[in-house]
Amino acid sequence: MAEVIENNSTLIELNLNGNSIGCIGGISIANSLKDNESITTLSLWGNWLSEDGAKEMADVIKENTNLTSVDLRGNNIGPMGASFIADPLVSNNTLTFLDLGGNNLGPEGLDFLAKGIQENESLQWLNLGGNGMENNGAASFAKVLSSPKCSIVSCNLELNYISDFGLTQLSQALKSNTIIRNVDLSWNHISINGVRQLAE
């Protein structure tokens, strides 16, 4: 499969969702994608790539400038995996869609990721739902939203244990952001007081 992908010049979308290819399979796919010049959409959710697989996928994002959409949901990449993905985002100017939902990134992973996304000027759709970012992670992401380089139009932050304190950080950032159109904060720990702050 990897050899076919590497040499194919007509395939524009690769979807291997839910196949449990694991880290080794992910590395094999990543190596083939580095030289592929036709695929623009990559979807590998639910494949248990882990942080080692994420490291290889980060190299793909860095080297393959044809990719515009990458879905890595549910791959348990963890905080270190997030740090690997963050690095190429600093200079990447082609990726517009990135899904990292349900990857156990935690506050530390969100901090790593935020530092990369802050410098990115192409990303428009971002899913970070279900990553346990908590208030510290929300504060890190608020820096992304307040960055003058921010191009994100829609972001999903659901199921992240964000309380009123984290929402305050995000609200302040949103006041200066004129680009974003949709923010999903469902299934967090936000009270009526937090909603009032957001409304202001």
Q: Rounded to 5 degrees, what are φ and ψ at 61?
A: -60, -35
Q: Are 44 and 75 in contact (CB under 8 A)?
A: yes
Q: Return the closest-CA partner of residue 76 out of 110, 41, 52.
A: 52
Q: Are 123 and 89 in contact (CB under 8 A)?
A: yes
187: tokens are 């299934």
> What pLDDT score was predicted for residue 8?
86
User: pTM for this one?
Assistant: 0.96
Query: What is the average pLDDT across 117-130?
Result: 97
Region of poorest pLDDT, from 27-36, 77-86, 100-109, 151-160: 27-36
pLDDT at 123 over 90: yes
